[in-house]
Copies of this chain bind each other. A is one copy, B any other.
Amino acid sequence: MCYCDVMPDTAIRPLEEQICFALYSASRSITGRYRELLAPLGVTYPQYLVLLVLWETGTSTVRQLGDRLQLDSGTLSPLLKRLQALGLVTRTRSTLDERVVEISLTPAASEMRNEAPRIAEQICASTGFALGDLARLQGQIATLATQVREFG
């Protein structure tokens, strides 16, 4: 019998002691902190994630963005249209493979990259964790996510 979320007599652990609620709650808390920091830039956290990938790659297909962020086209298609409406990305259909849409940064979005280090720094500070502890924690959470996705 598993004692993780369940007590011996089949009583249920309060949600404050369940791993999923911890992840769910923490994710929303830290996303809320990002919301404050990203407000001046006018983008949401999922939009910022797309920019993070594009700052690294320059150009990505919708598929590549989806693989990286674990998001499908149902989420990305409208999100990318909003980024395009904000003048931050361009969407051009590939000439080699007409199924593919390539997403590229505009100069405005490239400029925004300068703000990223300060934002990341403030997020780290908000956690109250030492950097080593934070890295260790991040690694364990990433391992758990991979495990659940692949062998759940």
* Residues of A in contact with B (beta carbons under 8 Å apart): 1-6, 10, 12-34, 36, 45, 49, 52-53, 55-56, 68-70, 113, 116-117, 120-121, 123-129, 131, 133-135, 137-138, 140-145, 147-149, 151-152
Contacts and interface: CB of A to CB of B under 8 A. Distances in A.
Contacts of A149: 29, 32
A75 to B, nearest CB: 10
Given A5-B124, A19-B30, A23-B30, 6 more contacts: A4-B121, A5-B117, A24-B27, A29-B70, A29-B144, A126-B147
Contacts of A131: 2-4
A123 B19 contact: yes
Contact of A127 (B19, B70, B138): B19
Copies in the complex: 2
A130 B6 CA distance: 14
A3 B138 CA distance: 13
A49 B27 contact: no
A1 B135 CA distance: 15
Contacts of A68: 15
Contacts of A120: 2, 4-6, 12-13, 18
